[in-house]
Amino acid sequence: MEISIAVLSAGIAASAAPLLLAALGETLTEKAGIINLSLDGTILLSAMTGFVIAARFDSLPAGFAAAAATGMLSSLVLVIISIYLGQSQVAVGFALTFLCRDLAYFLGAPFARTAGPQLSISPIPLLADLPFVGPILFHHSLVVYSSFLALPLAWFFIYHTPQGLILRCVGENPEGCWARGIRPRIVQAAYTLIGGALVGLAGAAFSLAIKPGWGRPQGCEGIGWIALALVIFGGWHPLRVALGAYLFGFLQMLGILLQDVFPTIPAQIFQVAPFPLMIFTLVLIHLGRNSKGKKLLLLRLLSGNAPGSLGKNYRQV
């Protein structure tokens, strides 16, 4: 079987798009010092609402909007209970992820395996016809384009705007921000909600584009946890987080390809393989980062520290 690099790369870019959106959303949230562990459940719930609303109103934009709203609603629970009422972010996040998952299966049951709209490929005129680069970058659905756009935007916002500086400061030391006349809890709440919206969009990206349709399982289960791991191993830096997302996409594509090469091996192995492989790769990167002596350039690029007050609730005196 012949597989060109271009086709493979295009596949990676497409399959990594929702993961990238979710991981960037979580990066923004964690940069403000808040851990939102509800990712996995939220993705599933917004995949369901996105699909149901899009099918009911026969409108893709309505579906995506509903999914983003669902993501925000779910993170609003975290905002109220953790940021404003001071309860543990980890406990609330865990409870929330399972609540959202069960809610998604329960409310979505009547719509399982029903027909619904699907986001089509919209090649960009002229650019899509470029050799090699065209199929990789410019022959996708809007979801993939928006993931391409979200990445540099997030990076630029975090590191090159005054608002991004405030975001980093709040995650680093909310007390210091309070002393400078910034209200840390409002900033934290805002980025938890924005992060939630991006996670919601990731859910709709699954049910309306990458793995269209709704059912149990939907096919996006587990992605939320991978996104959470990517943020940590990516050192809270959007570019490194993106690198991780594409690595995961590559492993997924590899599984599909190898399935054809080794037909005797059960298919389940290839479906599950990306997850342990991802952990293995990340551990390798991490070990390299912690080793003493000279570091490889790549490893040096990958190093990063957690925001100083990550996971701690800020209490105003």
Partner 1 sequence: MIELRSIHKQFGTVKALQGVNLRVRPGSIHGIIGENGAGKSTLMKILTGFISRTSGTITFDGREISLKTPEEARSLGIGMLYQEPLDFPQLSVLDNFMAAAADGNPARQQQVLARLCEKFGFELKPKACQEKLTVGERQQVELMRLIRDKCKVLILDEPTTGISQEQQELLFEALKKLRDEGTAIILVSHKLAEIHSLCDRVTVLRHGKQAGEQERPFDEKGLLQAMFDTLPTKSSRPAQKKIGRPILRMDTVSTKAGRVGLHQVNVTINEGEMVGLAGLDGSGQSVFLQIAYGLLEPEQGRVSTPVAEKDVVMRVFLPADRLREGLIAGLTIREHHLLAGKSPFFLTAASGRTTAEQAINTYSIHGTPATTAERLSGGNQQRLLLSLIPEEARLILLEHPTRGLDVQSGQWTWQHLRAHLPENGAIVFASPDIEDIMEQAARVLVFFNGRILLDRPTDQTSYREVSLAITGRV
State yes or no: residue 88 binds partner 1 (CB under 8 A).
no
Exactly one of 153, 156, 183, 284 binds partner 1 (CB under 8 A); that residue is 183
Minimum separation from the CB atom of position 233 to partner 1 (A): 18
Among 39, 67, 169, 245, binds partner 1 (CB under 8 A): 169
Q: Which of 165, 186, 283, 287 binds partner 1 (CB under 8 A)?
A: 165
**Rounded to 10 degrees, what is the CA torsion of 184, 189, 191, 196?**
160
Spatial separation of the C-alpha atoms in residues 119 and 5, rounded to whole Å:
25
Closest by Cα among 108, 308, 72 to 196:
72
Asked if 84 interacts with partner 1 (CB under 8 A), we say no
Q: Is 115 in the site for partner 1 (CB under 8 A)?
A: no
Please report how close the Cβ of residue 187 comes to partner 1 at its closest, in angstroms: 11
In this complex, which beta carbon is closest to partner 1, that of residue 161 or of residue 291?
Answer: 161
- Confirm or reject binding of residue 293 to partner 1 (CB under 8 A): no
Q: How many chain residues are in contact with partner 1, going by CB under 8 A?
A: 21
Binding mask 145-164 for partner 1 (x = CB under 8 A): ----------------xx--
The dihedral region occupied by 146, where left means phi > 0, alpha psi between -120 and 50, and beta the remainder, is: alpha
Residue of 109, 114, 134 whose CA lies nearest to 124 = 134
Residue with Cβ nearer partner 1 (244 or 307): 307
Cα distance between residue 241 and residue 23, in whole Å: 7
| Six token digits for residue 44 | 């599933």
Q: Of 22, 24, 19, 290, nearest to 155 (Cα)?
A: 24
Contact 142, 11 (CB under 8 A): no
Judged by CB under 8 A, does residue 315 bind partner 1? no
Cα gap 116→118, rounded to integer Å = 7
173 sits near partner 1 (criterion: CB under 8 A): yes
Does 179 contact partner 1 by CB under 8 A? yes
Q: Which residues contact 66 (CB under 8 A, 6 or more apart)?
A: 46, 49, 50, 52, 53, 54, 204
Q: Which helix (H) or strand (E) holds 305?
A: none
Q: Least distance in Å: CB of 149 to partner 1?
A: 23
User: Is residue 178 close enough to count as binding partner 1 by CB under 8 A?
Assistant: yes
Q: Is 168 in the site for partner 1 (CB under 8 A)?
A: yes
Residues that bind partner 1 in the complex, under the rule CB under 8 A:
161-162, 165-166, 168-169, 172-173, 175-183, 305, 307-308, 317
